[in-house]
Structure 1
Amino acid sequence: MSKLVADQADGLRRLLAHTPTRVIAIAGMSRGDGATTTTMNLAAALVHQGKDVLLIDEQDSDHASAGALWRIDVPGVAAECGVEVLPASHASADPRTLRHGGVVLIDAALDDEGRLSPLAQRADELVLALQPNAASITAAYAGIKRLHYAHGLRQLRFLVNRASGAGEAQKIMTNLANTGSRYLAVSLEPAGWVHADAHHADARRLGLTVVEAFPASPAAVDFRRIAADVLRWPWRAPERVGRPNDHAMNDSRIAMTVPRALHAPGAAAA
């Protein structure tokens, strides 16, 4: 019996040793969408799920970067919650070489033309953070269109940040998913939603995420739920190759072609 148990344990160790590293890029299309704090909270929640997590920071080293918010000055140092933070300038070309069997989150910074960095293009999943207001939803749609033309994107996920409740979030998720499928032939899959929560600001003043500082808050519960869902997302090969598209539209043309469904009062407010 002891030999059987030992063989099973050895088999489990081999299985875990070959678990692939999941790489997820998170981006926002307008300032204030909360992409950085979303990345940080999701990272902290994934550590809570028992995962080894690395956060690659593509943002400028200012007060709004993950390292600055966690008050980490040394590259590769872990935050109190256990998330290791690494500036993109210190990361290798393939983020999978930095973790074996864990999760790499990239706080992605888009360039002036709305394109992903070469590092973020290697992610298994791209998640866009947006807020439940007309400006953020319109910017998200325009950004999706730019990414579609620049990288040949066929699928991505999106997260509704700081929603008043499930009804508001669900309406946005349904409208955006339907619009992407109808007008862009892009599969837009909801990654979840997070409550508007006053604890966000309190956590920031403490230099922590809401998941760390206020684990019982509505937003922290939401992030842990999303983290659990992330670990169940199906594996799929990255399709982004970073090739430029000669027919990519400029920003003004893209903004003018946002479907009316996303401008309707119900969709914009919801």
Structure 2
Amino acid sequence: MSSKVVSDQADGLRRLLAQTRTRVLAFASMGRGVGVTSVAMNLGAALACQGRDVLLLDEHGTGAGTACAAWGIDAAGTLADVAAGRRSLQGAAAHAPCGVEVLPAVPRTPAGCRDPRTLWQGDLILVDAALDREGRLSALAEAADELVLVMQPHAASITATYAGIKHLHYAHALRQLRFLVNGVAEPAAAQQVARNLAQAGSRYLAVSLQPAGWVRAEPHMADARRLRRTVVEAYPGSPAAADCRRIADEMGQWPWRPGASLAPQTAPGMPGKNTAAAC
């Protein structure tokens, strides 16, 4: 029996044992300006266009630069409100035109929110994660099934990302994570960055670094922001939108590695289905 068949069977068994269809993916960056919120929003839009139920938890709140502000939508509550039973998730979340539900989730959300699958059981929960002052993950991001670090293909971002990986490795005993290269001019250069970073992580940190793909630079990004849409929504024929759709497709093939509670309970009044609009 080939190693690939054994791997596929093991992954299928992990999915069965997880007792949930919901995957939690956290996105973070080592520094400002690399586009982590834009990446999370565009991937969310691409997934919603595939008919997936997507919840985006934003640990940056609702101010300028957040998902709610970028989409021009308002949330009636927060993740803490939902966890405390003050609001249902449907009543608290803001609803983006593409069908993604957005819920603010500050880093100090109570410990009861560590696994958001206890509150919502759709297809994917994306966490736009905020690191604390010491560069550590929130409890919500730490418990995610996958951590994806967003970086750009220039020396400063690569150096900061590697230093951040080293810090996260020792702070959280992380043995594996993924990274995504954003704002790429040439895919070949992004592939070289991915290979170098993966080799460095394996050689010097004993951390498995898996590339999550790349997103090409989008000249119409400012126009999409003015329209309060993601590039995937506003310019679906653009190279960046195609990259996001490709990554969204590949995410379904990532090995199933549940990081939090394996047997979530659905709370009353907190349905897992999303009413997605056409994209």
Could you say whether these structures have the same fold, taking a TM-score greater than 0.5 normalized by the shorter chain as the test?
Answer: yes
What's the offset of the Cα at 1:101?
4.1
Larger RCO: 1 or 2 (CA < 8 Å, sep 6+): 2
Structure 2 counterpart of 1:204, which letter? R
**RMSD, aligned α-carbons:** 1.6
Partner Cα distance (2:47, 2:119) in 1:
17
Is residue 2:95 matched to residue 1:78? yes
What's the offset of the Cα at 1:98?
3.0
SS of structure 2 residue aligned to 1:25: strand
Structure 2 counterpart of 1:216, which letter? G
SS of structure 2 residue aligned to 1:32: coil
SS of structure 1 residue aligned to 2:257: coil
What's the offset of the Cα at 1:95?
1.1
Check whether the contact 1:156–1:187 (CA below 8 A) recurs between aligned residues.
yes
Partner Cα distance (1:50, 1:115) in 2:
33
Spell out the pairing of 1:97-176 with structure 2 (5 A cutoff). 97-176=118-197
Structure 2 counterpart of 1:77, which letter? A
What's the offset of the Cα at 1:20?
2.0
Check whether the contact 2:153–2:190 (CA below 8 A) recurs between aligned residues.
yes
What's the offset of the Cα at 1:60?
3.9
Spell out the pairing of 1:13-52 with structure 2 (5 A cutoff). 19-52=20-53
Partner Cα distance (1:20, 1:74) in 2:
25
SS of structure 2 residue aligned to 1:99: coil
Check whether the contact 2:54–2:122 (CA below 8 A) recurs between aligned residues.
no
> Which consecutive segments of 4 or more residues in structure 1 shift more than 6 A?
none
SS of structure 2 residue aligned to 1:159: strand
Which residue pairs with 2:213 in the alignment? 192
Structure 2 counterpart of 1:129, which letter? V
Which residue pairs with 2:247 in the alignment? 226
Partner Cα distance (2:29, 2:101) in 1:
22
What is the number of equivalent residue pairs in this alignment?
223
SS of structure 2 residue aligned to 1:114: coil
Which residue pairs with 1:8 in the alignment? none
Note the residue ranges of structure 1 that are not aligned, 5 or more in a row: 1-14, 240-270
Partner Cα distance (2:69, 2:137) in 1:
22
Which residue pairs with 2:225 in the alignment? 204
What's the offset of the Cα at 1:117?
0.3
Partner Cα distance (1:62, 1:231) in 2:
31
What's the offset of the Cα at 1:19?
4.5
What's the offset of the Cα at 1:93?
3.0
TM-score (norm. length: structure 1): 0.79
What's the offset of the Cα at 1:134?
0.6
SS of structure 2 residue aligned to 1:81: coil
Structure 2 counterpart of 1:49, which letter? Q
Answer with 43-52 or 230-239: which moved more.
Answer: 230-239
Partner Cα distance (1:232, 1:49) in 2:
15
Alpha-carbon displacement from aligned partner over 1:49-103 (angstroms, at most 9, x marks no partner): 2110000000143211111111112240210000000011578332112332410
Is residue 2:201 matched to residue 1:180? yes
Check whether the contact 1:19–1:101 (CA below 8 A) recurs between aligned residues.
no
Partner Cα distance (1:55, 1:101) in 2:
11
Alpha-carbon displacement from aligned partner over 1:197-243 (angstroms, at most 9, x marks no partner): 1122211111110001000000000000000000111101328xxxx
Note the residue ranges of structure 2 that are not aligned, 5 or more in a row: 1-15, 77-92, 261-279
Is residue 2:237 matched to residue 1:216? yes
Check whether the contact 2:23–2:258 (CA below 8 A) recurs between aligned residues.
no
Higher alpha-carbon Rg: 1
Structure 2 counterpart of 1:85, which letter? V
